[in-house]
Amino acid sequence: MAVPDASRRAFLGRMAGALGAFLAAAIGVPLAGAALAPATRRDEPQWIVLGTEAEFAPGGPRMITFGSTRTDAYLQATVSRAVWVYRAPDALRVYNARCTHLGCLVTYRASSGTFLCPCHGGVFDVRDGAVLDGPPPRPLDQLEYRVERGELSARYRDFLVGVPEQRPL
């Protein structure tokens, strides 16, 4: 009679261990995935339609604003973004409108033909985005663009601010 009790006790012990392992995996795997997923996910740059190529006449630059959808875990938010489009004599230039110093929005000063960061006095050349004055560590970030069927699109991305080299976020 002692043998059936021992085997029943052993069976129940194995069942309890198996149930515990199953519950640990059922709870632990999704939690680990949720904790590690943001570290491995990168937002791909989005192609944004800016308008027809003919809308951007030579001369002063034009600011284009748009909303960019950002996904963080289960949340989606629309973030306001801006670019400056400048038609140089030789080509178009599309700049991210964020100052490379601390990410403030730059404005255009027509009297001097420069972009100005009103927060810390950074000044950029409109022709190539070069730093003319102030604390910015690098020129304005130029964005990749394309013209298809007369329509101008830019591949929008943000870069790390405050560092001398251009590094995507």
Nearest of 158, 109, 157 to residue 133 by alpha carbon: 109
pLDDT digits (tens, 9 = 90+) for 33-59: 767 665 555 556 779 999 998 899 888
- Domain residue extents for the chain: 1-41, 46-156
How would you classify the pairing of strands 107-109 and 114-117? antiparallel
Residue-level pLDDT at 42 = 57
46-156 CATH, one of 3.30.365.10, 2.102.10.10, 3.40.50.300, 2.10.260.10: 2.102.10.10
Max Cα–Cα distance, the chain, nearest Å = 102
Bridge partners of 154, per DSSP, are: 48, 145
Query: Which residue shows structure tokens 């009103």?
Result: 118
pLDDT digits (tens, 9 = 90+) for 114-139: 999 998 899 999 999 999 999 999 99
Which amino acid type is present at position 157?
A: R
Contact 99, 88 (CB under 8 A): no
Report field, pTM of the whole predicted structure over 0.75: no
